[in-house]
Amino acid sequence: MSLKNMLRLALLTSALCACAVQADAIFGAGATFPNSIYQAWGRAYKAQTDTTLIYTPVGSGKGIAEISAARTDFGASDKPLKPDELDKLKLMQFPAVIGGVVPAINIKGIADGQLLLDANTLAGIYLGKITHWNAPELQALNPAVLLPNAEIVVVYRSDKSGTTFNFTNYLSKASAEWKATVGEGLSVAWKTGVGAAQTEGLAKRLAETPNSIGYLDMADLQKKGLTYARMKNRDGNIVSPSSASFAAAAASAKWSAENRFYEILTNQPGKDSWPITAATFILLERDPALPEHVAEVMRFYDWAYRNGGEMATSLHYVPLPEIVANSVRQAWTIQVKGDAGKSLWQ
């Protein structure tokens, strides 16, 4: 083992404790957005292979930091890294699954899909310009809905979040004012509202706060008993969040191993496309400190591509097309190597 990998192994072992060297466990950390499906896949994989997935949903920013420092077997991020960033960090990335970021509300008497939003009203709320639920802009979109004369409580992610990245990326594409004043990122300088850490914290704050609005994935929204809003998409059609509308948005994606699978799915064309659709990504070391662990990570995601589609759909995610999964496998073969320069994916 090279000196570089000896140092990485020491870091990883120290960070994850003695249990990290177990051959029957793999460790990941990062995005909260795909946590529901990763845990479901992990349980099924454990039953079939006796290998345990230990995945910690700490946010995309921490996921990138953990894998960059070789403190975990893989990182997870809803924000894809650009090729030059991957080269600098000596990482490779691949998409794992597709889902949607959904406006979640807590308004007494308003049911799922009863409230309609568009880019301008959603941006206006998060810019602090639309402050009450019965504001003229919202009432014009919802003429048949009795909206309360109540102040809107805006909730956002306070940590570095890939969900925030996709939410703000969408608003930057769809609202010139948002792009000019706030922009996009894992974290941004919010104009109004209160912060909550990670999906769990945001969902809890929404559930406890009347007349609030936030954003999170569909699985957690339903698990917490929150209410979703419908959206007007880029084509001006009204759509609900679902596996079908997420798949419609992803249909025009141009996945490319040459471009390191860098693809952002927000504000896609198509009459049925959900406007805040997102892929979530896995990050691996190209020259891993623990090759056997990284090989098992690839086996896990290969298994998920082959066997995890129904589980993904049941939780309102979208499995990757087989052609994309095959491209990912080819990228593993080329990019992830053991000490002797031999591919870890056979």
Q: Where are the domains of the chain?
A: 3-98+253-263+278-335, 101-250
Supply the pLDDT for residue 4.
Answer: 42
Supply the pLDDT for residue 147.
Answer: 97
Would you say 266 and 276 are in contact if contact means Cβ atoms under 8 Å apart?
yes
Fold (topology level) of 101-250: D-Maltodextrin-Binding Protein; domain 2 (3.40.190)
Angle between helices 162-174 and 60-68 (to 10 degrees): 120
Structure tokens of 164?
């925030």
Supply the pLDDT for residue 252.
Answer: 87
Neighbours of 338 (CB within 10 A): 15
For residue range 158-211, list pLDDT tens digits in order.
Answer: 999 999 999 999 999 999 999 999 999 999 999 999 999 999 999 999 999 999
Supply the pLDDT for residue 13.
Answer: 46
Fold (topology level) of 3-98+253-263+278-335: D-Maltodextrin-Binding Protein; domain 2 (3.40.190)
Decide: pTM greater than 0.95: no
Supply the pLDDT for residue 346.
Answer: 80
SS3 string, 239-306, reads ECCCHHHHHHHHCCCCCCCCCCCCCCCECCCCCCCCCEEEEEEEEEECCCCCHHHHHHHHHHHHHHHH
How far CA 66 is from CA of 44, 75, 134, 236, 242, in Å, comes to: 25, 7, 44, 40, 31
Sheet containing 116-117: give its strands across: 116-117, 230-232, 238-239
Supply the pLDDT for residue 311.
Answer: 97
What parts of the chain have a pLDDT lower than 70? 1-23
Supply the pLDDT for residue 14.
Answer: 44
Supply the pLDDT for residue 136.
Answer: 98
Supply the pLDDT for residue 18.
Answer: 36
H/E stretch holding 157 reads: strand 153-157
Distance CA 273, CA 199 (A): 24
The reply to whether domains 3-98+253-263+278-335 and 101-250 share a CATH topology is yes
Distance CA 198, CA 31 (A): 9
Supply the pLDDT for residue 1.
Answer: 43
Supply the pLDDT for residue 146.
Answer: 95
